Amino acid sequence: MTALLLDTEALIWWDANDPRLGGKARTAIQDAAEVYVSAASAWEIIIKSAIGKLRTTRHPAKAVADGGFLELPITFEHAEAVKALPLHHTDPFDRLIIAAASVERCIIVTSDEKFRSYDVELVDARR
């Protein structure tokens, strides 16, 4: 299996040992040689926590480190790739994750059905 890229929700579910993260997804994460988390997810968690849309006391960097995951910085190439994406999904964080996965050739772990509209490989986080 190639590298995985967790979307924000998958990271949160993993970190909280949330049962919404399905067994197949959990196994895929455990068995992957490399699991990345985009800086876009850290940005999303911090922004949503600051405005009260997400309740967490956990810092994304700590969750990524404790999970044994790798940080995926946002590059100019990722940002440029967003421009080429159709507007199936309007969430800027998710669009950046999709673009990064496309550029880096990662499989995205997500429960977001809108990701299916893009030309990226997925692991359903709920299964």
Phi/psi at 86 (5° precision): -65, 160
Residues paired with 122 in a beta bridge: 108
The pLDDT of residue 1:
53
Can you tell me the distance from the alpha carbon of 100 to that of 9, in angstroms, rounded to the nearest whole number? 16
Topology annotation, domain 4-124: Rossmann fold (3.40.50)
**Model confidence pLDDT, tens digit, residues 25-81:** 999 999 999 999 999 999 999 999 999 998 876 889 999 999 999 999 999 999 999
Counting beta carbons within 10 angstroms of the beta carbon of residue 66, is it exposed (0 to 12), middle (13 to 18) or buried (19 or more)?
A: exposed
Q: Is the Cβ–Cβ distance between 94 and 115 less than 8 Å?
A: yes
Residue 71's nearest CA partner among 25, 20, 109, 34 is 34
pTM: 0.93
- The arithmetic mean of pLDDT across residues 116-120, rounded, is 94
Average pLDDT, integer, range 72-97: 94
